[in-house]
Structure 1
C-alpha cells in the first residue's frame, strides 16, 4: 500500500500558516532569545507578519521557502518548522525549527522534523537537507543527530551574539531514496 500521509501522524500534524497564527508568529519572531540563532536583528511588526501570512503562496517553488505550523492532535500549536534557501537546481534546502518552550522535551520536534523530511525527500524530491546550529545548542544538535543528520563542518565565529562570536555546526542529511 502506498504511503500518502506526508504531513501528519496521530499526534502531530504540519499545516499551512493561517491568519489565526498571527499571535504565534509574533511570539516566535519577536522572541529575542531566538535571535542569536539566526540573522534577525530587530522585531517584526504585526503588520509585517500579517502581510507575510496574506502574501505567502505556500509554494516552495514560488516562495523559495515553506513554513508549516506544528499542531498537536488537540489543536494546540507547538511551534513552526521551515524549509528555506531552497535550491531547485541542486535539490537542497535549509531547515529550521522552533518548538515553544512549554512543548519541548516531549518528542514533538523529532516528529515534526521527521514529517518535514518525509515530505521534502519523498514528495518534493529534495536530495539534501541541512541546518546551521550553534555549537552550544546541545538540545537542537541532539535532535538533528538523533534524526540521522551528520555534522559535516564547524564554522568558526559564524554568529555574533551579545556574548561574542559563536561557532556553528553544519549538519546535513542526504536523501537515500532517490538518485
Structure 2
C-alpha cells in the first residue's frame, strides 16, 4: 500500500491558492517574523498576488516549497510549512514552520512538521533537513527535538533583532537517523 503524504489526524498540508492572499499578507507582514527571514520591508498585496500567480510550488524548480497548514475538515489556514534553500546536489533543504498565535499549544505544529518531514524524506527523497532556531525560543526548540531533529551547535550572534544580535541553534535531521546511536545528541545543547 502506498504511503499517504501531507495528511494527519488534525491538520493537512496543501498548496497555496489565490484565496490565501489575505492569510499570506497577514503572515508575511508580521514584524515578529521578520528577524528570522531576510525581510526588510512589508510585502504589498500586489507582490503577494504575483507570487501566488507565478509560484509553481515545485521544490525542484523553485528551490522552495511553501505549503499551507490547514485544519482538517475546515480548510482553515493556520500556518505555513516551508522547505527552502534547497540544494539538489546535496539533497538537503532548510525547514521553516509558523503557526498563528491562536493555534499554538494544540499539537498542530508538531503534526505539521512531522508531515513535512515524511514528505521531504519519503516522497522528495531528501537526505537531510536543517532548521535555525533562536536560543530563547523554547517552544520551537522542543518542537524540533520532538520531531527527531538534533542540535548540532550554536551560532553566536547570528540574527539581529531589535538592535541586538541573538544566538541561534542549528538543528539537523537525517533521513536515516539512527536514534540509538545518537540519543545523547537529541537533547538541547
* TM-score, normalization by structure 2: 0.90
Alpha-carbon offset, residue 34 of structure 1: 1.2
Cα distance in 2 between the residues matched to 1:21 and 1:72:
14
Alpha-carbon offset, residue 38 of structure 1: 2.3
Does the residue aligned with 1:96 lie in a helix, a strand or coil? strand
Cα distance in 1 between the residues matched to 2:41 and 2:129:
27
Partner of 2:94: 94
Which runs of at least 4 in structure 1 moved beyond 4 Å after TM superposition? none
Cα distance in 1 between the residues matched to 2:37 and 2:171:
15
Partner of 2:154: 154
Question: How many equivalent residue pairs?
Answer: 176
Alpha-carbon offset, residue 163 of structure 1: 4.4
Instruction: After TM superposition, list the pairs within 5 Å mapping 1:25-64 onto structure 2.
Output: 25-64=24-63
Cα distance in 2 between the residues matched to 1:15 and 1:167:
32
Cα distance in 1 between the residues matched to 2:144 and 2:110:
8
Which segments of 5 or more consecutive residues in structure 2 lack a partner in the other structure? 178-189
Which segments of 5 or more consecutive residues in structure 1 lack a partner in the other structure? none
Cα distance in 2 between the residues matched to 1:58 and 1:162:
33
Alpha-carbon offset, residue 2 of structure 1: 3.1
Instruction: After TM superposition, list the pairs within 5 Å mapping 1:119-134 onto structure 2.
Output: 119-134=119-134
Does the residue aligned with 2:61 lie in a helix, a strand or coil? helix
* TM-score, normalization by structure 1: 0.95
Residues 1:24 and 2:23 are matched in the alignment: yes
Cα distance in 2 between the residues matched to 1:144 and 1:163:
27
Partner of 1:176: 176
